[in-house]
Amino acid sequence: MVRRYLVAANWKMNMTVSQALPFAAQLATLTGGEAAEIAVAPPFVALSAVGQALHSSGVVLAAQNCHAASAGAYTGEVSVPMLADVGCRYIIVGHSERRQLLGETDSLVNEKAKAVLAAGLSPILCIGETLEEREQGKTLEIISWQLQAGLAGIPNEVRVVIAYEPIWAIGTGKTATAAQAQEVHAHIRGQLRKQWKEGAERVRILYGGSVKADNAEELMSQADIDGALVGGASLQFEAFAAIIEAAKKAAGRKK
List interacting residues with ligand 13P (CB under 6 A): 10, 95, 165, 170-171, 208-211, 229-233
* Of residues 43 and 208, the one with the C-beta less far from ligand 13P: 208
Q: How many CB atoms lie within 10 A of CB 23?
A: 20
Choosing from 165, 185, 187, 217, which is the catalytic residue?
165
187 is catalytic: no
* Of residues 61 and 230, the one with the C-beta less far from ligand 13P: 230
Q: How far is the CB of 255 from ligand 13P (least distance, A)?
A: 27
Q: How far is the CB of 75 from ligand 13P (least distance, A)?
A: 26
CA–CA gap between residue 127 and residue 129 (Å, rounded): 7
55 is catalytic: no
* Of residues 42 and 209, the one with the C-beta less far from ligand 13P: 209
Query: Considering only CA atoms, which of 82, 163, 76, 75 is closest in space to residue 115?
Result: 82
Q: How far is the CB of 126 from ligand 13P (least distance, A)?
A: 7
User: What letter does residue 175 receive in the DSSP assignment?
Assistant: P
C-alpha triplet 191, 189, 221: angle, nearest 5°: 160
For the chain, the C-alpha Rg in angstroms (whole number) is: 17
* Of residues 122 and 210, the one with the C-beta less far from ligand 13P: 210
Q: How far is the CB of 242 from ligand 13P (least distance, A)?
A: 14
Query: 227-230 and 122-127: which strand pairing?
Result: unpaired
Report the run of H or E that residue 8 belongs to, with start and end.
Answer: strand 5-10
CA–CA gap between residue 105 and residue 98 (Å, rounded): 9
> Which residues are annotated as catalytic?
95, 165
